[in-house]
Structure 1
Amino acid sequence: MLKFAANLSLLFTEVPLLERFKMAKQHGFTAVEIQFPYSLNVQLLHDVLEENELKLVLFNVDADDLLQGGEGLACVPDKRQQFQHAVDQAIAYADILKPELINVLPSRCLTAQHHQEYLNTFKENLIFAVQAFAPLGIKTVFEAINTYDMPGFIIHSGEHMRGVLDALKQPNLFMQYDIYHMTRMGEDVNRFIVDYSDKIGHIQFADCPGRNQPGTGDIDFERVFATIATSVYSGWVGAEYNPVGATVDSLQWFNPK
């Protein structure tokens, strides 16, 4: 049976972030993920997780200005020190929140001739993050994002992620595989999951196009969920979509036991 986690950065946004934990619990989730938890006091987050008997599966290292249209952080050569400070911040939260995984967003290069330099910087920063998180028992993941929503993103396919894994050979490093983003890039997500599920540390999903709940787009989620369930992947599957209508009404795909 698949283990689903609610992404509280996108789901239950009808209420403030701290109130979303209770809503997730009330609607059957036992685990959650947050993109960036740093706006909230870490002890307060810990307490609300305990109060609602929820596990925090994953959060991201800070990505600077990525979501505001900038280059981001992890691949930018002149931001190496800032990235290391962001990893230290993630460790401070991880010490208390005990996530299974921390995601490093590769970010993007907006000047084509600098691509290789940015990619090399990302690989170096990724090794730094892996070596920082491993002693805490935390896996490091990184993800590919489609270049329609985020032009210039330096990792934008499953093959790109595999190339980074093969180059770095870090045993505590895994792919974060996003069904929406890779479908948007034309990838056969079912085939990729079958072939490489042992190298995937986390899966997220939304329908495509639109990045909304299952049933609003073209993805056959019955098939996708069956593919995940029959693969060797045993991790969490994060619902990271923008609900059409109220979040509660978007949960028809979810049947908690």
Structure 2
Amino acid sequence: MPKFAANLSTQFNEVPFLERFAAAASAGFTAVEFLFPYDYPAAQLKQLLDDNQLKLVLFNTAARNVQAGEWGVSAIPGREADARADIDSALEYALALNVPQVHIMAGVVQEGMDRQACVDTFISNIHYAADRFAPHGINILLEALGPKIKPNYLYASQHQTLEMMQQIDRPNVFTQLDLFHAQLVDGNLSQLIRDNVGRYRHVQIASAPDRHEPDEGEINYPWLFNLLDEVGYDGWIGCEYIPRNGTLEGLGWFKPWAKHA
């Protein structure tokens, strides 16, 4: 049976971030994910999770200078010190918040950069991250971001992240299967799900092409939820979508799986 985590960066934006934990729990979620924890002390976030009986299942390493076009720096040559500082910070938060996995942000390949040098830098930094996280049983995730959302990100296709995973060759490195990005770039979601069982450790959802609730658009999510059950996926499904007209108003699709349903 699918397990859904509310995404507190895209959902429940009707209230300030620190109030979204209670809002998600009240809506029936037992787990949450979000982009970044770094604006808040880990102890404060831990208290909110405990108070609302929520499990945190995913967050990212820092984005760095978003205004300058950065979206992580782990693949940027010359920024290794920054990348490893971000990895170390993410590990501290992961341990404090009991998070089983962290997505390492690769970065945008800016004009003039040598792409192969970016790949080599990323692999080196992921080796560092994987080796730091492994003694604590924490997994590293790689996520492809389609050009509609993040142009020139290091990888856009699920097949690129799968190839990168093979090159990295660490037992605690997996892919993050965002079905919204995958539909826009790769298509054939059922084949991706079937052929790569065990390679992805987190799934995210949103309608395509508009990134709203998973009850409209091109993707038949109920069918894919059944398929994920069929192939034995037992991880979380993150609801990284932008509500059409308010978070609660759009949760009709979720009611069969809510904790108080």
**TM-score category by the smaller chain?**
over 0.9
- 2:131 alignment partner AA: Q
Aligned residue in 1 for 2:36: 36
Instruction: Output the CA distance in 1 between the equivalents of 2:36 and 2:68.
Output: 14
Which is further off, 73-82 or 181-190? 181-190
Cα distance between partner residues in 2 of 1:190 and 1:68: 37
- SS at 1:116 equivalent: helix
Match in the other structure for 1:99? 99
Show the 5 A alignment for 1:71-220. Answer: 72-111=72-111, 114-220=114-220
1:134-159 deviation per Cα after TM superposition (whole angstroms, max 9, x unaligned): 11111111100101221111111111
Q: Is the 8 A contact 2:179 2:203 kept in 1?
A: yes
Aligned 8 A contact 1:109 1:115 in 2:
yes
Normalised by the size of structure 2, how large is the TM-score? 0.94
CA contact (8 A) 2:69 2:108 kept: no
Kept in 2, the 8 Å contact 1:66–1:107? The answer is no
Question: Structure 1 segments of 4 or more deviating over 4 A?
Answer: none
The CA RMSD measured in Å over matched residues stands at: 1.4
CA distance in structure 1 between the partners assigned to 2:67 and 2:212 by the alignment: 18
> Would you say the 8 A contact 1:179–1:206 is kept in 2?
yes
Report how far residue 25 of structure 1 moved: 0.6
Q: Find the counterpart in structure 2 of residue 22 from structure 1.
A: 22
Q: Report deviation, 1:83.
A: 0.7
Cα offsets for 1:11-58 (capped at 9, x unmatched)? 101001111011111111100011101111111100010000000011
Identity value in percent:
34
| Residue 67 of structure 1: how far off its partner (Å) | 7.4
2:211 alignment partner AA: R
In the other structure, the counterpart of 1:7 is: 7
Task: Give the aligned partner of residue 250 of structure 2.
Answer: 250
TM-score (norm 1): 0.96
Answer whether contact 1:180 1:205 (CA < 8 A) is retained.
Answer: yes
Shift of 1:70: 2.9
1:118-148 deviation line (CA, Å, top 9, x unaligned): 1111111111111111111111111001012
